[in-house]
Each structure stands twice: as C-alpha cells, then as structure tokens.
Structure 1
Amino acid sequence: MLQGFELWVPPVPLEFDDGMPYYEIIGTDAQIVQFPLKRGRQIMCFSGAMAYMSDGIKMDVQLAGFQKTFGRLAGGGSLFQVTYTNESGDDNAYIACTGDYPGVIVPMNMSSTGKIICLRDSFLCATVGLGRPMTNISAGFNPASNPISFCCSGIDFIVQTVENGEYAFLMAMGTVIKKTLRVGESIVVDGDSVLAFESSVTVDVRAVGNIAAICCGGEGIFNTELSGPGTIYLQSMSIDKLRRLFPPHVSSSSGDGDGGSSD
C-alpha cells in the first residue's frame, strides 16, 4: 500500500507443541474468536463476551479491588472481570468469545507489543498462559501533550490501556489498516478512525483551516494528530459512527395511549 500503510490481516498465531493454534478467528463481519483451552490455561474477558464453551470449564467472577474495578468501568469495560479455566483434565476443551456489536477481532501479541492505548469499549478478551501474568486492563487519560489537545483531539478523555500478558483481542469495525510512524513523523486523522496505538505515540491537534473549512468541512475545528515513533491502528468504521447513523428514536404517544391516530 502507499506511504507505508498496511492492510491489517490476522497474524498467524503461535502454536502449542501438538500443532494446535493458540486461537482461531472465525467469520467475516461479526467474528468469533475460538480458543483451544489446554489444562490449566485461562481466558480473561468482561461480562457477556463468552459465546460458547465445552464442559468442564470453570467460570470465576471477581471485582479485583476498587482501583482496578473503577479503571475497567472508566475504560468502557464491565463491572466484573470474568476468567474461564480448564479444570477438566482434558486438553481438548475449548471456549469462544464474541463482541456485543458487529465487527472484526484484532489480536495483539502483548509479548512484543508491550503497552497499547485503545478506544473505550474495544477490549474483548485475553489469553492467560501457564505461569504468565494476566493482561492488565485499566483506564488512562487521553495521552495528549497539552490541555488544548486533551480537550479537542477527538479522542475520549478516558481511554483503555492494555499491557502485559500473552494475547489480547480488540473489537474493530470495517477495514483495519496499520502504519508504523518514524520518529518525528505525524499523521492527521479523524478521531473516530483511531482504534489503538502504542504508548510511544504522542497525541496533538491540528486546526482544520479557515472559517469556511470549519463551518462546512464536517470535521469541526480540530483534527487529531498522531506522531511517532510507534504503530497506529486505524478503522474505517467505529461504534460512535454507527450510533450516529441510528439515533435514538423517541416516540410520541397520543391521548388514547396507543400512539396511533384515530380516524
């Protein structure tokens, strides 16, 4: 692709000693991620993410302390953190997770990625290996470089931070592309197009232009500017865009109580 952009495609997952992949992504527009759950391995997710699982898998629900719970809620997660553990003694157990809106599932190898910053509501689940630390999901402030950027960058005040662990899985919508920014390289984006970026990327704003551009361009006063070094992930659709396409409908009821008109 032009200018260093790459069409994101699911990477080939690591494999267990028996050749079984760590995960399998199924489907196209509303995907499922399925995991072979070896003995003692775990899947960590938020409430409602589990789609189906084999017998003998134990579910454990926990708050994990006030600070972590508040961080999950502020970052768009659920009140409870759920872990599923294979306690059956069978290496052929399995479990699958899916998002609560149509989208594609983006796996992140946290061993090589380190810490990433993503939009609220985007974290789906994570694998927990034997003897490996659990992926830490918390809330962080918009990592803007100054107060104006913080308020006007188009990225939420509160974002999700994901770090540590094995594999983490994010929910995206539409087509996902990625670009690795060099030191000092910047890109101007619409805030709704941002899915995630590495913690080394800095956030700033850039004025759209003159009065005509501000009033008629449809982009507001500022656009988001992301600067390297680091990798960014962009999406062609977002849950916020989808919500704007289908605004809440408020029905007005008539005096007869059935909302209809009388002849």
Structure 2
Amino acid sequence: MQHEIIGTTMPVLSISLAKGESVVAVSGELSWMTSSIQMNTTTNAAGGGGFFGAIKRAVGGGSLFMTEYRAEGDHGVVAFATKLPGHIVPIELSGDKTYMIHRHGYLCGTPGVELGVGFQQSLGAGVFGGSGFVMQKMAGTGSAWIELGGEIVTYDLAAGETLRVHPGHVGMFEGNVKFEITRIKGIANMLFGGDGVFLAALTGPGRVWLQTLTVSNLAHAIIPYLPAKG
C-alpha cells in the first residue's frame, strides 16, 4: 500500500492498493476510485464490534456505517478529498498508543484501526451548533489519515505543561495528554471578551495538533453573504 497527498489548499489523499489490500472510510468520503476497487458498507468495520459498537463510534462523530474499499483482481486506486481547506495528517498506530481527534477528523484507515468515543461534554445551546463537544478515540494497529482544517500548529507538551485552547481549534492529541473543558474566568471576559465561555485545557506530556480553521468560524464568516430567506 502506498499513499500520496496531492494539493495544498484543498488536498486529496490518493491510496494505491495491491490486490487484496483495503482501507476503511466513513460513509460518504469517497471522491473517486478505479474499476478494480470493490465497496462493502457495514457496521462492523473500524472496530465496530457489532451494532452497539457502531453506535458508540457514531456518537464519537463517525458514521454508523463504514465503507471498506478493497482491490479485487488487480491493484487499484481510491481517493478521498478534504471537505474544507486544510491538511491531511498520516498517523501510524502500533497498538501501544491512542489518539483523540476532533469529531469529523477521521478520513480513512486500514482495517486494524478502531474508532470510538473519547470525550463528550454538553456545552449548552449555541456552542458547536448545540451538539456539545465530542472527541473521537482512535486506537488499534495500522495506518490512518486525519483531516484538519486550515494550517496545523503542533506543540510537544512537557509533563505538567498546560496549553489553553479554544475548543474548536483542538484538532488531535496523543491519548496520554490530559484534556478537560474549563470556563473562562471573569464575568466581563465571558460576556464581552468575544472568545466564548469555554476553553480546552491540554496538559502534557504528549503532542498536540491544533487547526487554525474551524467549521463554526467558517460558517460565521459566510453568513453575511448568504441570501436572505424570502
């Protein structure tokens, strides 16, 4: 299996599969594929473990059904494009490390990669579309590719070192990083600071990947240009 990330602003992940090799993606991620690639949509892929495992994966931000793309009869190519301007980050999992990724960050991975709920907290109406804050837990063995919005800034936090981040900018972090949602201190800061009410506190040791483009900021930027109803 070989992969290539093509492009810059709106990259696409192109994966070349030898006969019998496969990758698993969230339903609806496919951009294009060659004729030798066969699709199989199921709830059991990506560590689904049956219907209840699939429900757990869906709550974490994935999809109830996952699609396996397998090269049958000959080698083939399957491609997945990003949904927003940003970057695609390849991750290798060896079974001894877990990752937490933002709820729509998983693009695809090999069959040994497992997805589930890593963190879930309700932050009230109007925050993240009223759906609260959710992180996916990624574990297992194999290769995975993660989609992050905008530019990527990484920090290697030392033990006990804490970074406070607007939750929407948290793209991914290693599983040993301690994560909690905190309130901004001060009534004036909360009401008039314009930075929201909550911050994510990430405490090392471990690596953190931050994304500069968030879906909520993008939506806020284009709202003035949308046609008015009626």
TM-score class normalised by the smaller sequence: 0.7 to 0.9
Q: Tell me whether 1:242 sits opposite 2:218 in the alignment.
A: yes
User: Of 15, 21, 37, which aligns to 1:57?
Assistant: 37
- How far apart in 2 are the matches of 1:69 and 1:170? 19
Task: Report which of the two structures shows the higher radius of gyration computed on alpha carbons.
Answer: 1
1:108 maps to which residue?
91
Shift of residue 221, structure 1, vs aligned partner = 3.6
* Cα offsets for 1:217-249 (capped at 9, x unmatched): 212344221101111110111122212223496
Give the alignment of 1:79-118 within 5 angstroms. Answer: 79-88=64-73, 90-91=74-75, 93-111=76-94, 114-118=97-101
Maintained 8 Å contact 1:113/1:198: no
Shift of residue 206, structure 1, vs aligned partner = 4.9
Maintained 8 Å contact 1:75/1:120: yes
User: Of 188, 194, 199, which aligns to 2:175?
Assistant: 199
Give the alignment of 1:1-263 within 5 angstroms. Answer: 22-64=2-44, 65-88=50-73, 90-91=74-75, 93-111=76-94, 114-128=97-111, 134-142=112-120, 150=121, 156-247=132-223, 251-253=228-230
Which TM-score applies when normalising by structure 1? 0.74
Maintained 8 Å contact 1:59/1:83: yes
The 1:217/1:52 distance shift into structure 2, 3 A limit, reads same
- How far apart in 2 are the matches of 1:209 and 1:140? 26
Q: Structure 2 unaligned runs (5+)?
A: 45-49
Query: Percent identity between the aligned chains?
Result: 29
Q: 4+ runs of 1 displaced by more than 6 Å?
A: none
Shift of residue 250, structure 1, vs aligned partner = 7.8
The 1:242/1:203 distance shift into structure 2, 3 A limit, reads same
Shift of residue 181, structure 1, vs aligned partner = 1.0
Which TM-score applies when normalising by structure 2? 0.84
Single out whichever of 243-252 and 190-199 deviates more from structure 2: 243-252
The 1:217/1:47 distance shift into structure 2, 3 A limit, reads same
Higher strand fraction: Structure 1 or Structure 2?
2
